[in-house]
Structure 1
Amino acid sequence: MKVSDLFVKCLENEGVQYIFGVPGEENEDLLFSLEESSIQFVPCRHEQGAAFIANVWGRLTGRAGVCLSTLGPGATNLITGVADANLDKAPLVAITAQGGLTRLHHESHQYLDVVNTFRPITKWNSAVNSPEVVCEIVRKAFKVAELEKPGATHIELSEDMAKQEARQKLQPIPPKRVRRPGPDYKAINRMVSLLMTARRPLVIAGNGAIRKLASKHLTQLATTHKIPVVSTFMGKGAISDRLEYSLLSIGLGFKDYVIEAVEKADLILTVGYDIAEYPPEKWNPNGNKKIIHIDFVPAEVYTHYDPEVEVVGDISGSLWALNQRLVDGDLHFDCDWYQPVRHRILDDIASYDLQEGQPFTIPG
């Protein structure tokens, strides 16, 4: 059994269905091994396209998408899509080929230090330098890519390493589900206390609310206690826009309609929100908003984002715990304070509706 055969067995073990990429001389052994596999190789016209397809696959399924390139320029062509996956928290595993190890110590055709090139744009990366480590490297690449917060990982497999023989006893490491920790009860208590003193709370739902199916508990929170929810662009779908508690998405414009609601809110609950999705200085310019941070990881240190409490743990578990603790009689929210904003948003959207045959014009 060649190393490339073992590598493909490990990919099958991870449940990989498709690999998106561009074939080349240095990755041909891996491609030959794929011919005997259930995994379908999808040729792409350009490596950047392959990376973005894998990126979106990971984003939609929650399982790492896989892209493949040859060495040098093939690998660098992956960079934009891989970096985007890492920034947008989409699980992705990039596999790049490399020239034979016997020619890497001197100037060589299309040789580039790909491992160090990919290090700043991935959560983790490594080169396969022995048949003995193939199973560990592949398992770690997928585990790290899919763990919260997800992102990109990278494996380099050189052409001579792919051809080497691997011991038959080497077998893929079975994936095991990792249970995420629940929130701290003191943090839950503090969050409930803040809500009990609030009059106009508002939720900003980010990418994390989408990834781990927190929609059910977020919708329950909004509908039971009439708390409005606005999503970032990456958080669209966390709550249905048809619900009267939805203020749709927060835009890039500084004085968007939704900003009116954010300005009036006296407590902001961010759920799975990354500051890269919509900069806090846009909605908290004075840095004086009371904020509850609900996420898998602690909040970033940021002048305009300084939460009163950080509820760190599984997002669904945190929202479930909050729903269990909240009692309407303890809450004193203003009724429907956000509805005028929702009506203005919907009226604005309706102004763009066209009748059949009507030319498009910009209102106003």
Structure 2
Amino acid sequence: MDEAGKGKNMTNPNYGSTERLTVGQAVVRFIAAQYSVADGVKRRFIPAAMGIFGHGNVAGLGQALDQYNDILPFVQGRNEQGLTHAAIGFAKATNRTQTFAVTASIGPGALNMVTAAGLATVNHLPVLLLPGDSYTTRRQGPVLQQLEHPLGPDISVNDAFRPIAKFFDRITRPEQLLYSLPSAFRVLANPVETGAVVLALPQDIQSHAFDFPKAFFEDREWKIRRTIPEREDIGHVAKLIKDAKKPLIIAGGGVIYSGATAQLEAFANATGIPVSETFGGKGAIQNPGDWHLMGLGLEGSPETNKLVAEA
């Protein structure tokens, strides 16, 4: 193969059968085809999108959400932070097997999602954020409430997501989606890594068309894997309990996410070891016995905190 042929293959890869879509259409189509699988149950990973339209997300992504409303319903909101909190709450209620996508316009709209994104990351709760972003062509100056940095024209308010996002990317070319969308869902589906995932979408790029491979939009399953402890670790914990004079169990959110409520209750009933719950572990015990304590910490009870201190 001559040098010209090599260059042509590099710039025009063989994707097989393709479909011409805008970036906005491709994002919506891909999201609608993602499923989570946990304990043998298959669910739509993101059953709906929410957001508020404005400059930066109405023309490209907004058009796609309207066009494909039958496969990805859209819920119009009134506050971007509230919508992101609702998505996080939904993720927690579904034990991290589902979440929502949330979109916002450039500037204050996108910035309103930052606090909720931090909450999602700190609590390992999946949420997909799709803020609009500045024109990549830069033929325009700052538009309306769009914010800029005097020393860096490539910086927008969306860069505030970088320190708190578990995955962040700014899509400046359509073909970037072939890498970034699967990478985003890999993070969303990993209980260890999951948190806020942010794909910043410049408003001009959202309307750019590209010949995407059709296989990219086929249904895809993401397994939510449960961490299995090693036998050596189990033996070590058993020895700690056996040797303890005043053992006490602190149940966290992992009990809920692992579906281990029944096992914890059975263990407590068999041993009589008292069980307390963290704030994230509230609800870990559904059938309490006389071994069940109240919560601990700042939102707990003084009696429980005293017992924990003496354990």
TM-score bracket relative to the smaller structure: 0.7 to 0.9
Whichever residue aligns with residue 160 of structure 1, its letter is D
1:26 equivalent in alignment to 2:56: yes
1:205 match: 251
1:257 match: 303
Question: What do the CA deviations read for 1:225-259 (whole angstroms, capped 9, x no partner)?
Answer: 22211001211011126332210212417971102
1:64 equivalent in alignment to 2:99: yes
2:136 match: 101
Instruction: State the alpha-carbon separation in 1 of the partners of residues 141 and 117 from structure 2.
Output: 27
- TM-score (norm: length of structure 2): 0.78
Distance 1:82 1:178, change over 3 A: closer
Distance 1:102 1:191, change over 3 A: same
Instruction: State the alpha-carbon separation in 2 of the partners of residues 187 and 42 from structure 1.
Output: 46
Question: What do the CA deviations read for 1:261-319 (whole angstroms, capped 9, x no partner)?
Answer: 21332xxxxxxxxxxxxxxxxxxxxxxxxxxxxxxxxxxxxxxxxxxxxxxxxxxxxxx
Consecutive unaligned residues in structure 1, runs of 5 or more:
266-364
Which consecutive segments of 4 or more residues in structure 1 shift more than 6 A?
Answer: none
Match of 1:50 among 61, 83, 97: 83
Instruction: State the alpha-carbon separation in 2 of the partners of residues 255 and 244 from structure 1.
Output: 16
Whichever residue aligns with residue 49 of structure 2, its letter is I
Consecutive unaligned residues in structure 2, runs of 5 or more:
1-20, 35-43, 149-155
Match of 2:177 among 134, 137, 141: 134
Distance 1:64 1:246, change over 3 A: same
Match of 1:166 among 210, 229, 236: 210
Whichever residue aligns with residue 261 of structure 1, its letter is L
Match of 2:283 among 237, 243, 250: 237
Instruction: State the alpha-carbon separation in 1 of the partners of residues 289 and 31 from structure 2.
Output: 42
Identity of aligned residues (%): 27
Distance 1:253 1:4, change over 3 A: closer
1:17 equivalent in alignment to 2:58: no
Distance 1:33 1:255, change over 3 A: closer
Whichever residue aligns with residue 33 of structure 2, its letter is N
Question: What do the CA deviations read for 1:29-57 (whole angstroms, capped 9, x no partner)?
Answer: 21211123221211111111111111111
Residues 268, 275 of structure 2: 8 Å contact kept = yes
Q: Secondary structure at the match of 1:167?
A: strand
Distance 1:12 1:100, change over 3 A: same
1:296 match: none
Residues 10, 172 of structure 1: 8 Å contact kept = yes
Instruction: State the alpha-carbon separation in 2 of the partners of residues 4 and 264 from structure 1.
Output: 57
